[in-house]
Amino acid sequence: MLPLADKVVLITGSARRVGAAAARLLHGAGARIVLHYRHAAREAASLSDELNAARAESAALVQADLLQLERIEQLAKDSVAAFGRLDGLINNASSFFATPFGSVTMGQWDDLVGSNLRAPFFLSQAAAPHLRASRGAIVNISDIHAERPLKEHLVYSVAKAGLNGLTRALALELAPEVRVNGIAPGPVLWPEDQGVFVEAERDRIVAQTLLGHVGSPEDIARTILFLMADAPYVTGQIISVDGGRCVTL
């Protein structure tokens, strides 16, 4: 039995890292996956080929810059057109970089708030009629730093805090047809900007994590699968998947 058989799930930022892990796991559970990407065309095409080789006509590609509001509504339409329905939305795409207070620019604000809060809001709004029709679910990928801000990452932390609020507000707005939940990862993957966390900082983070090690994208993907397929009475929640780091942070 495949718990997501015949379901259609749109995953933003799905070409690499957590998004790709989620795509593979949900696809393995029977879902047809709409893979969104912005710039990572080669990685997205490779993942699409992989999923379609495993099960024919089970993955589709959509490209969009989520900072362009006019593209968001079209992304929802393209996603529904790919397979004729939409059962799940995973708001995973995210920008992350430092913004030391006193030097923040409007461009940095627009990028971080746009990708982490504005795009999930407007994409959820565009997808909502289709998700209501299928009694679907939304999962927002937040961050441990939504609740415990990261120094010199003020705008990112504020945007993720807003995403947590959006998750709860959407759960209220879309009930009872659509469940809306969030996941707050802790140390799962180090940022691609390796300079942000030097080796000593990484060691400190691992030492603060109760389970004593960094997590994996699959840890987040398994929680997404739980919320999509096995949590019919869970909505409006932010689940920490952080190895217990939030206990001591």
- CA distances from residue 187 to 67, 134, 146 in whole angstroms, order as listed: 26, 34, 14
Long-range contacts of 195-204 (CB under 8 A, 24+ apart): 196/97, 196/98
The two three-digit tokens of residue 185, written as one number: 């990862």
| Mean of all residue pLDDT scores within the chain | 95
CB count, 10 Å around CB of 232? 9
| E strand or H helix that includes residue 184 | strand 179-185
8-248 is a CATH 3.40.50.300 domain: no
Q: Predicted confidence band at 51 (pLDDT cuts at 50, 70, 90)?
A: very high
Contact 239, 182 (CB under 8 A): yes
pLDDT above 90: residue 203: no
**Could you tell me where the beta strands, DSSP code E, fall in the chain?**
8-11, 32-37, 59-63, 88-91, 137-141, 179-185, 238-241
The two three-digit tokens of residue 189, written as one number: 């993957």
CB count, 10 Å around CB of 246? 16
The two three-digit tokens of residue 158, written as one number: 């504020």
The predicted structure's pLDDT at residue 248: 85
- CA–CA separation, 60 vs 45, rounded Å? 9
156 belongs to the catalytic site? yes
Catalytic residue among 156, 162, 240, 245: 156
The predicted structure's pLDDT at residue 238: 98
pLDDT per residue over 112-171, tens digit each? 999 999 999 999 999 999 999 999 999 999 999 999 999 999 999 999 999 999 999 999
- CA–CA separation, 31 vs 219, rounded Å? 19
